[in-house]
Amino acid sequence: MHRFYLPPENCCTNSLRLEGREAHHALHVLRLKRGERMTVLDGVGNEFLCEVETAAKDFLTLAVKEKKFHSAPPCPVSLFVAIPKGKIIEDIIEKAVELGAHRIVPLLTERVVTQLDAVGAEAKREKWQQVAIEAIKQCGAAWLPRVENPVALKDFLARAEKPGFSLVGSLQTQRRLPREVLAEFRTQRGYEPKSAGVWIGPEGDFTLAELQAIEATGAQPITLGELTLRVETAAIYCLSFLNYELQRD
């Protein structure tokens, strides 16, 4: 069953319309015809089983045959990740979608090579959000993570955001295993985290000053093992742990 994405504001009736990129893929790559079935995701929990009514030159109309709603994961997880070189961030976003991330915040830290102005940052965000859209279509996730504009670490920290449970991968300070930190949280609080975040630094790690500023928000430094992991591997490691521990009802 082929999957497509439509923003929720375009999914309010029993007749949906695919245009632009999605229609091009359906018409000219998959060559879908009248009567064929597909799934449409709106990124906010709804899944529509549809049948092609009209296949025109540059759009399709779809009849909704069945609608399912998938509840949001019990603990929204945010990934705060320093932007690595090249296109690695796209792989990170793709894997973050598959592992149930709720939000992805690309960070500009002292050791990040990439530099962006406001226009460039928005262009990157739009491109990376499209990567997330393609990822939900591939894996069938009902909830589309929000990819935020790249932001300087100091500016993001100034917002004083504090997830209920927060981890930061560290090579520099006293560290514990993530399972130990989570066990301590459960013992002290007596309940599961209502929200979670994980901080992943760039090649070379966060500077000590950056790490101390992140820890000041309540993030607990963790070790990811004896080996030094790449940025993308560290992100997958942490998201896999949080997905397994926190995303089950």
Q: Is the pLDDT score of 249 beyond 70?
A: no
* All domains in the chain, ordered by first residue: 3-69 (2.40.240.20), 77-246 (3.40.1280.10)
CA distance 38 to 17: 13
d(CA 165, CA 79): 12
pLDDT (tens digit per residue) in 87-143:
999 999 999 999 999 999 999 999 888 777 777 888 999 999 999 999 999 999 999
Please give the Cα distance from 184 to 163 (Å, whole number).
16
**When comparing pLDDT for 160 and 105, which is higher?**
105
> Reduced to 3 DSSP states, what percent helix, strand and coil does the chain have, rounded to the nearest 5?
35, 25, 40
Tokens of 77: 């997880």
Quick check: 78 pLDDT over 90? yes
Per DSSP (E only), the strands in 77-142 are: 77-82, 103-108
For the residues 206-227, what does the mean pLDDT come to?
Answer: 93
